[in-house]
Structure 1
Amino acid sequence: MDRRRLECFIALAEELHFHRAAARCHLTQPALSQQLRQLEQHLQVQLVYRNHRQVSLTRSGEVFLDQARKLVRDMDQAVALARRVDRGEVGQLVVGITVSALYIVFPEIIERFNQRLPEVGVVVREMTMAEQEEALRNGDIQVGIGHPPLDDPSLAYKIIATTNFNIVLSERNPLARRPVLSLRDLAGEQFIIFPREIGPQLYDRIISLCQDAGFSPKVILEASPAQSIIALAASNFGIGFIASALQQLQRPGVVYRRLDGPAPSLPLGVAYHVSDMSPTVQAFIEEAEAVGKEMG
């Protein structure tokens, strides 16, 4: 249905005067009459009675007027919605995230993102970094939050924050009497650490730093998320690596100690496909970077 013809009919129906309706539509009277005739021919219905003195609607015209107004409103809403989607203001964003990032930065990012784009739904999928890379390549997620660097050069990432690892250990462990620890102090301990597939390069970095300190971890017990690491440390199974004070749950039986000297740190970044920089993705990255700056 031609919008211009509908607008001309609505104007004439409301003005009941060809001159005023033509002026309202920024047309000459002959042009307005032509628009009306074309609409009636399209509908195969007479909409208007007209003579030199009077203009009035037929019964069909009266009924069609309500529908014509609705059609124009629907067109306006469709255009507005399309433009909002194009600007990234409406729709859905699928985010992949590692367990540790879920607890450290995600609550703040999603709060800011929801305030900025309240009509964009966010679907969250817990994923390792390898799973995120595959999902980004396949288009199953639009954004990943985890621990760069990435292995796939076709994907891009921005580091938003870096947080140091601390140590969680049982208060029964003799090391708990020390206010600060170094990696060298951990040489005889069993390590409780996140599984390598969550962040392979970060995992290898921790092992490398231990080797630089003169030892290789005696035993590595893999656990995730942070609550599991803390629970195992409370049971005195070993010492755990906790990446942020935000993960340091107040649990009876454990203490947290800062690592002094060379120590591993957890980079947190936003990953995305270089071919998918939609306004929604851009907005999410910007809010993630803002959260990273607030973390210092």
Structure 2
Amino acid sequence: MDRTALDCFIALAEELHFHRAAERCHMSQPAMSQQIRKLEHELDVRLAHRTKRVVSLTPAGEVFLTEARKTVRQMELAAELAQRTDRGEIGQLTVGVTAPALFVVFPEIARRFRQLLPHVGLVVRELTTAEQERSLMRGDIDVGIIHPPLDEAALHSEQIGRVAYQLAIPQDHRLARRESVTLADLEGEPIVIFPRQIAPQIYDTVLALCQDAGFTAKIAMEAFPAQSIIALVASGVGMGFIASETQRLARTGVVYRPITGPAPHLSVGVAYHVDGVAPAAQTFLAAAREAGAAIR
């Protein structure tokens, strides 16, 4: 049973005239008659009585008309849903996001994306950059918000924003009285930092910048996420590196100061498979680029 036969029957049932029904379906009258006979043969039932002047539906035809209209409407809906899904207007997108990016840029990306595609749901998975690389290669996520660069040649990544790290300092520490600090001020001071596996390149950059400032970083503890680093700073364990003002959680006993001079920065980027991305993912990437340009 195909759509053409159903359309022909519905037109005949509503026009009760073969010539008018044929014109409505943009076909010849013999072709229209053939479609009706084909449908009756397939159903093994008479749908209409025909004379030279009069067409009327049989009781079976009356019942079938109601269901045929429902079927056509359902077919139209199915086609529309398929087309909208293909265009990326509905469905869902699975996105990987690093923990720092969840605070720094993801809320703005998600807000822009919802404005553009309100009927596409976001499934968010908090993953490190390395975990996102593996997930993108397996197809477990559609796009990732990462800290570039990546190792996988089959993945494309691009930086969308860059934010400076700030220092979380115990409120009673001597450096808390300053408006800003330098990395050289941290010589001999205990430091609380995120684990290297979270963002290896940034971790190594922090240590290298400390070396350039003339000392070896004294790592008292590694902690994750930002709330844990801030809590440890509040307890006096050491100074903590916090990415951007968005991670500056209000906490008694902690103050935040910018780092002047050479300082580490958090690079935020997007990643996807070089084979291409679906339309919804393309819209997400556009939202990410727009949001990333505004972060600091």
Could you tell me the TM-score, scaled by structure 2's length?
0.97
Partners of 1:171 and 1:295 in 2: CA distance: 27
Partners of 2:201 and 2:91 in 1: CA distance: 34
SS at match of 1:255: strand
Tell me the equivalent position of 1:248: 248
Tell me the equivalent position of 2:22: 22
Displacement after TM superposition at 1:90 (Å): 1.7
Displacement after TM superposition at 1:89 (Å): 1.4
Q: What amino acid does structure 1 have at the position aligned with 2:69?
A: R
Displacement after TM superposition at 1:150 (Å): 1.0
Q: Which consecutive unaligned segments of at least 5 residues does structure 2 have? A: none
Partners of 1:290 and 1:218 in 2: CA distance: 38
Q: What amino acid does structure 2 have at the position aligned with 1:164?
A: A
Does 2:91 correspond to 1:91?
A: yes
Does 2:57 correspond to 1:57?
A: yes
Q: What amino acid does structure 2 have at the position aligned with 1:156?
A: H
Alpha-carbon displacement from aligned partner over 1:148-188 (angstroms, at most 9, x marks no partner):
11121211112111000010110111111221111111111
Which portions of structure 1, spanning 4 or more consecutive aligned residues, are displaced by more than 6 angstroms?
A: none
Displacement after TM superposition at 1:293 (Å): 2.1
Does 2:233 correspond to 1:230?
A: no
Q: Which consecutive unaligned segments of at least 5 residues does structure 1 have? A: none
SS at match of 1:149: coil
Q: Which moved more, 1:119-128 or 1:51-60?
A: 119-128
Tell me the equivalent position of 1:164: 164
Q: What amino acid does structure 2 have at the position aligned with 1:295?
A: I
Tell me the equivalent position of 1:67: 67
SS at match of 1:158: strand
Q: What amino acid does structure 2 have at the position aligned with 1:40?
A: E
Q: What amino acid does structure 1 have at the position aligned with 2:192?
A: I
Displacement after TM superposition at 1:122 (Å): 1.2
Tell me the equivalent position of 1:119: 119
Partners of 1:234 and 1:97 in 2: CA distance: 27
Partners of 2:179 and 2:259 in 1: CA distance: 10
Q: What amino acid does structure 2 have at the position aligned with 1:266?
A: L
Partners of 2:58 and 2:25 in 1: CA distance: 22
- Percent sequence identity is 57
Q: What amino acid does structure 2 have at the position aligned with 1:271?
A: A
Partners of 2:273 and 2:101 in 1: CA distance: 19
Contact 1:172/1:236 (8 A) holds in 2: no
SS at match of 2:259: strand
Partners of 1:174 and 1:220 in 2: CA distance: 18
Alpha-carbon displacement from aligned partner over 1:183-221 (angstroms, at most 9, x marks no partner):
111111111111111101111111111111111112341
Contact 1:96/1:125 (8 A) holds in 2: yes
SS at match of 2:197: helix
Does 2:218 correspond to 1:213?
A: no
Partners of 1:52 and 1:180 in 2: CA distance: 97
Displacement after TM superposition at 1:117 (Å): 1.5
Displacement after TM superposition at 1:15 (Å): 0.6
SS at match of 2:294: helix
Contact 1:142/1:276 (8 A) holds in 2: no
Contact 2:104/2:295 (8 A) holds in 1: no
Alpha-carbon displacement from aligned partner over 1:26-52 (angstroms, at most 9, x marks no partner):
122222111111111111111000101
Q: What amino acid does structure 1 have at the position aligned with 2:218?
A: K
The CA RMSD measured in Å over matched residues stands at 1.2
